[in-house]
Amino acid sequence: MKILGIVILTAGILALVYKGFTYSRPHTKEIGPFDIHYNTNETVDVPMWGGVILVVAGGAMLAFGMRKA
């Protein structure tokens, strides 16, 4: 429970700091005998309330996980 709390807390902090992430999707188009390869960048925005919920949940898991031990 403690490790899961740390992972969730870290994910929440990263969501608040970076506010999203970008990744590339490779594409291939065939036009006759030619292959055209290109990448498109996709952006995923993480809302602030999502990061706050993750931080609170991770902190709660750490707090309640340490009380039982």
**Tell me: the pLDDT tens digits for 23-39?**
999 999 998 899 999 99
Three-state DSSP at 47 gives: coil
Cα 14 to Cα 12: distance, rounded to the nearest angstrom: 5
Of residues 12, 6, 1, the one with CA closest to residue 52: 12
pTM: 0.69
| E strands, 1-69, in order | 20-31, 34-45
Per-domain residue ranges of the chain: 2-68
Place of tokens 């996980």: 65
Summary mean pLDDT of the chain: 90
